[in-house]
Structure 1
Amino acid sequence: MSGQYWAVIGLLAIAAFAIRVTGLIAGGRIRASRHAWVLDEMPGLLVVSLVASSLAGQPPATWLAAAIAVGAAIGTNQVIATMALGMAAFAGLGWLGV
């Protein structure tokens, strides 16, 4: 490999390390601030944002199945039950032609 390839590999390694160090420093500062609650809520916020972006532009049957899954999540507080009921609702709505 030429020196250019090694330079690119080195630059990418430095960038990856810098991203991790920056996240570590920022996380420490956020934990020490009044915004620490955001880190506690981050996993749920990420899941909600992924689901919301997945639902954008979907037909009403998908939204209805998602609403049934939310109801199952609230009612059961079980991940497996939520997934099973959401999938069953989606399959049932598809079978009914909705």
Structure 2
Amino acid sequence: MTSAWITIAGLAAGTFTIRLSGYLLGARLPASGPWARALKALPGSLIVALLTVLLIQGGPAEWVASAIALAVALATRNLPLTMLAGLVAVAVVRNAL
């Protein structure tokens, strides 16, 4: 076997192990209680943390785009539409500035 095949086999085994362990650990997570509530809130918390860092480092284009995305989110409660509005807004504002 060449080193390329050994690398591919190792990466495949690593990927399989990660996916299998995620499935096995996910089956053991609590379905109710405080830990379940915390885990359900985690994705939203991560998005807020990432957006906060981006806004602190960003300029006027990012601030305007985030305000537009927030307005769309509050008006529609539609995540894909909000993401699309934010992407379009930041592209348009960056080209305008």
TM surpasses 0.5: yes
Which TM-score bucket, shorter chain as reference? Answer: 0.5 to 0.7
Number of the residue aligned with 2:69: 69
Structure 1 position 27, deviation (Å):
1.0
Amino acid at match of 1:16: T
Q: What is the alpha-carbon distance in structure 2 between the residues aligned to residue 85 and residue 4 of structure 1?
A: 45
**Bigger CA drift: 10-19 or 54-63?**
54-63
Tell me the number of residue pairs that the alignment of Structure 1 and Structure 2 aligns.
94
Structure 1 length as normaliser, TM-score? 0.59
CA distance in 2, matches of 1:89, 1:12: 37
Structure 2 unaligned blocks of 5 or more: none
Q: CA deviation at 1:17?
A: 1.4
The question of whether the paired residues in 1 share the 8 Å contact of 2:55 and 2:62 is answered with yes
Instruction: Map residues 39-78 of structure 1 onto 2, 5 A cutoff.
Output: 39-45=39-45, 47-48=47-48, 51-52=51-52, 54-55=54-55, 57-78=57-78
Over the residues paired in the alignment, what is the CA RMSD in angstroms? 3.5
| Secondary structure in structure 2 of the residue aligned to 1:31 | coil
Alignment identity in percent? 34
